[in-house]
Amino acid sequence: MKPWTNPIFLDLLRIALMEDLLYGDATTEAVIADDANCRARIVSKSECVIAGQNVAQAVFHEVDRKTQYHAVIEDGCHASPGTEIATVQGNCRTILAGERIALNFFQRMSGIATMTRDIRKMIAHTECRIVDTRKTLPGHRILDKYAVRMGGGSNHRMGLGDGILIKDNHVDAAGGVAPAVHLARLRARHPLRIQVEVRNRDEAMAAVEAGAEALLLDNMQPAQVKDIVAGLKDSVFLECSGTISHQNVIAYAETGIHMISIGALTHSVKAADISLQFER
């Protein structure tokens, strides 16, 4: 399902509009005639990768179905400062009512896409994939993860039901790596791959011997990751995570790891600078 048609997003959109318009728009109602029409441009003011065209359109259409929205460039495309991203035409009051909410979604999503694209470029010489995590803004997960895809990244689990990921707290509560994996193999739904978060080489070997199909190497140094990759890359899928950023992602990607998950893509994003400008 496309994010802008998902009921979760539509509920989020209505809540966002309610925050702004619960008591109307005092300024616009005082200054702008109710029958005034206008045309506006949505413009990038920073270098960014665009994500959120259909989301922004959904905002304006939720306020007023008669509003005409035209995307000038597609999601996933690069925009330089001054690039016209979209045009909006219709009733002035309704465009102003939707402006801030549309830009809030647009700026966050484009910021995520931009950061993802930047990191992808840094490790383009490797075969490593970049994926997101569940460290998303509550209620925005479908949007955050869509934005990651627009930046060239991939999605990890959308929710807890999408896969078996046995993390450190599961391991500790189950009494060790091997018991946790054995229970997962016994009880898990058939199609779900069993992945185990491990903290050192001993846990990695124990997880593989117990039947894990994938490992998440958490908070390890590149040298530790490289050592495990050298011994297990051909027998199990390997992912690493934990404090990985622009500063060290190349070192991790060059270990030969299959995949790197980066929570910062969605929990520490810098919003793109995008504005809406009325045409005089």
Q: Which residues are catalytically annotated?
A: 100, 135, 167, 197, 218
Distance, CA of 173 to CA of 176 (rounded, Å): 8
Cβ-based neighbours of 33, under 8 Å, separated by 6 or more: 92
CA-to-CA distance for 126 and 5, rounded, in angstroms? 35
Contacts of 97 (CB under 8 A, 6+ apart): 17, 20, 21, 25, 28, 63, 64
Which helix (H) or strand (E) segment is 15 a member of? helix 7-21
The answer to whether the beta carbons of residues 93 and 34 sit under 8 Å apart is yes
Q: What is the distance between the alpha carbons of residues 17 and 104, in angstroms, rounded to a whole number? A: 11
Give the chain's radius of gyration (CA, Å): 23
DSSP string, 50-70: ---HHHHHHHHHHH-TT-EEE
The single residue listed with the structure tokens 């869509």 is: 146
Look at the block and give the residue holding tokens 């027998």.
235
